[in-house]
Amino acid sequence: MTAETLVIRKAREDDLAQLIHLLAEDTVGSHGDTAEPEAFEDYLRAFHAIDQAPQEQLFVAEQNGEIVATYQMTFLRTLRGRGAVDAQVEAVHTRADWRGKGIGAALMVHAEQEARRRGCRLLQLTSNMARTDAHRFYERAGFSRTHAGFKMKLK
């Protein structure tokens, strides 16, 4: 990978099949992602909802015409901070055969630039406790462990 050949851009509907396979290869998160054909319509509905929401952005990293990574950003207007906008990074995934090549770092630089472009006060993310390698990566990328995260599964 070189900086000239990696393209980070907004995801398109025709990226969906590759994105689904990328998400389905993740076994840590227990999100229920699958590349089974009967699940495609669920992903398509979600893609359209994200694509049409001004506070949501889904990005892909493309190398030689292949989707090798993805991440999503949500922009949250808060009352605290005098109406500040925070950027939340979610669903960061790099294809297993492309890890360790600087793609994740390029995604985080892109996310920071996008957050700054939108005037965000901060850039934040959560990471599964089991992803210790990812935690070291995020700290090297400039993130600090400042909060404990909590989740409640509803389905």
Model confidence, pTM: 0.89
Average pLDDT over residues 128-133: 80
Q: CA–CA distance from 33 to each of 38, 55, 66 (Å)?
A: 12, 23, 20
Give residue-wise pLDDT tens across range 3-36: 568 999 999 999 999 999 999 987 766 577 888 8
Would you place residue 148 in the very low, low, confident or very high pLDDT band (cuts 50, 70, 90)?
confident
For the chain, what are the domain ranges? 6-140
Q: Is the pLDDT of residue 82 over 90?
A: yes
Of residues 56, 61, 17, 11, the one with CA closest to residue 37? 17
Superfamily of domain 6-140: Gcn5-related N-acetyltransferase (GNAT) (3.40.630.30)
